[in-house]
Every structure is written in C-alpha cells, then in structure tokens.
Chain A
Amino acid sequence: MIKRVVLPVVVILAVGSLMGMGFNSARAKNRINMRRNYFAVAATASPKASTSESTDASDGSTSSALDGPSQESTDTPKEGKTLNHPFTPVTLDEVVDLYLSDGYQTGDVVFIDARSEENFAQEHIIGSFNIDNYNADDMYAEYEQYVLAANTIVVYCGGGDCEDSIFLSTYLTNRGVSMDTIRLFEGGMKAWLNDNLEVEQASP
C-alpha cells in the first residue's frame, strides 16, 4: 500500500510542485512572487475598516495603523461586497477636479491604474501610470520617483467589486508612500466610463 500508492502520491505532488516553481521562476511576465501577499490590506484604526491585521510578506513588515477616513464615497458601484480599507476614498467629482487641476500637469497629482496591462491598454484615464498590482514588483520602479514626489496619488482599478486598487495602495504604503497622500477612487474605470469622460488607449 505504502509503496504502491502513498509513495507515488508523494512523488507526483513533489514533482508537480517543483515543475510549477521552476516554470514560475522562468516566467518573464505574470510571475508569482511566492513571498508576497497580493491581497494584503493595510491595517487601520478606523472602526469602519476591517479589524484583521494583514502584512505584506514581501518585506515582512506589518502595515502601519493610521487614522482612516470617515467619509464614504457616494458613487461607488458596489456589487454585494463591502470594500474595507483605511485609504481616503474620493468621489468621481473629486477625481475629475484633481484630473483638471494644475497639479496633474505639474506632477503634484498622479493617477495610478492598478489593472492589468491588457486592460490598461484598452482604455485608461489620460495620463495615468499603469502599476498592475500583480506585477507591481516589476512595474513600480519605473514610476517610483513620480509617485514619491506627488502629494496626491489617485489609485483606481475596474470599479465594482475590484479590490486591486486597495491591494496596490497597501503595496505603495509598504514601499514608503505616505498613506495620507493616497486617494482611492473606488468607482474606478466603471464610474469614469459611465460618465463618458475622456480616456486614452495604449499599446500593451
């Protein structure tokens, strides 16, 4: 029994796992960082936010607990899921104001699209940077200087149930970006497109 079943089962699982890790390491794109918690949400002292502590294991640090916002976004197209996070949410109107502000031209305000490169290429808010949450280790370096220099960072993803903007915001705070500078546009591309606001395309 052990020789004919248990041992082969262990060998199959071990060989499959090793092949998987080898193939994953060799990937140029969409490689999974085994040590990174892609779904970490920065902890908060706000009573409205999640009470569970989460860590970003890529650097092993526990996210700092800061005072969260008390205001609720009014144009958040939620679909049965409550998005708990400690970041300051912004409404579509506020995002449009930031988009039209002088700061957006000077680099004081930056927009970050947390979606995949494919989705970003299809359409995105004009002038926004693409840092896909799941490829952030590779993509962040290109924009780091602009992100650290900005005083307001608007992070968005697809809208609806999309949580990638929350995860990316957590990633940014673990890379030294102040939580106070982050504005979470929960409505995301969905809200932006629903209002027929201008977008641009990019080649992936």
Chain B
Amino acid sequence: MAERQSGSGAGVAVATPTVPSPSLIRRLDQTHVPMLLARLVVGGVFLYLAFQKLGDPILFLKNIREYHLLPESPPIFINLTAVALPWIEIVCGVLLIIGLWIRPAALIVLGMLLAFTPAILFRAIDVYTTQQIAFCAIAFDCGCGTGAINICKKIAENGSLILLSLVGVLSHSRRFAIDRAP
C-alpha cells in the first residue's frame, strides 16, 4: 500500500490498488502487442473508410456540410476538406501499417477522431431533440464512409479508435516497424 507525505507534513495513506502502476503499462507496452494492434486496426480501418469516401466525393461533401463545422463561403475550405481528407486518411493508414512516422500519423488520426466524434454526437443529440426517438435508435450517414449507421455503435467504435490512436501516439514500441526510433 502506497503512503505519501502531504504538504503539511501529516502522513496520509492513499490507497491506489485499482490504478495500474506505470511499470505495468510499460511492461504491457514492451510486449509490443498494444502498439501492433493499434497500428493494424487504426491503419486498416482508416484505409477502408477512406476508399469508401473516395467512391462518392459528392456524398462526402454533403455529409461534411451537415456538421456545419466549416464555412460554406468561401467554398475552398469545405471543398478542400472533401477532396483532401480521404487521401490524408490513406497516407496515415499506410504509414501506421508499415510503421513509418507512427507518432505523427497517429496524432493526425487522433485529431480527426477528436474533431468528428463530438460533431457526430451533437448531430445525434440534435436529431434526438427534434425527432423524439430513442437515442440508440438514431442512425444516419455520418460521412464516415460506412453509409447510414447506428450512432451509439459509431460512437463506441470511435471511442475504441481514439484509445488505439492514443496508444499509437504514446507507445515507444517499434516492433515490425520501419521507423525504429520511438
């Protein structure tokens, strides 16, 4: 049981048995499994979704507009996002799978997930308040490349991808990677 000294000098026992110690996380990281899993899953999912989006860029453009995250005028921002985002996802997906520039690629993927997941959530809340249907019954095309999807499922999926992207950003493991330096 850990025991710490408080600032005032009084001894305070702080029980932290449920929080894994840093050494445990480090030991887990040294197995290389979390990083490998993160690279393959996040890279594979992003590659798949990017190719789905490339199939219908106009639909993707319309879906981006639905989030109202970008101004419609001047149109360059929303149009460039629709054109570039799937290719940025492809580049990130390939880099993660081959193990090159892992941390930057994972950082970009994490940034996209952190931008779009709340946006999906807010759009779902909007649907929930206007159409009065059960939250987990809401389904719409989130522009993610999967077509119409159940939003609870999508948010759970994105939550998992955020965790795995964090592994990609924080892990020092470079097993089966071209880039050997962490």
Which residues on A are within 8 Å of B, measured CB to CB?
Answer: 4-5, 8-9, 12-13, 15-17, 19-21, 23-24, 27, 30-40, 54-55, 57, 80, 116, 134-135
Contact = CB atoms under 8 A, between A and B. Distances in A.
Given A12-B105, A35-B76, A20 B58 contact: no
Given A16-B89, A20-B80, A30-B58, 5 more contacts: A12-B95, A13-B108, A20-B87, A40-B72, A40-B73
A19 B91 contact: yes
Interface of B: 54, 56-58, 61, 65, 72-76, 79-80, 82-92, 95, 101, 103-105, 107-108, 130-131, 181
B88 A32 contact: no
Nearest to A164: B62
Contacts of A20: 80, 83-88
A16 B79 contact: no
Contacts of A31: 57
A41 to B, nearest CB: 10
A17 B104 contact: no
B88 A39 contact: no
Contact of B92 (A12, A33, A38, A40): A12
B131 A17 contact: no
A61 B107 CA distance: 40
Contacts of A30: 56-58
A9 B101 CA distance: 9
A133 B105 CA distance: 35
Which of B61, B83, B101 gathers most chain A CB within 10 Å? B83
B160 to A, nearest CB: 23
B59 to A, nearest CB: 9
Contacts of B54: 23
Nearest to B75: A37
B104 A5 contact: yes
B87 A12 contact: no
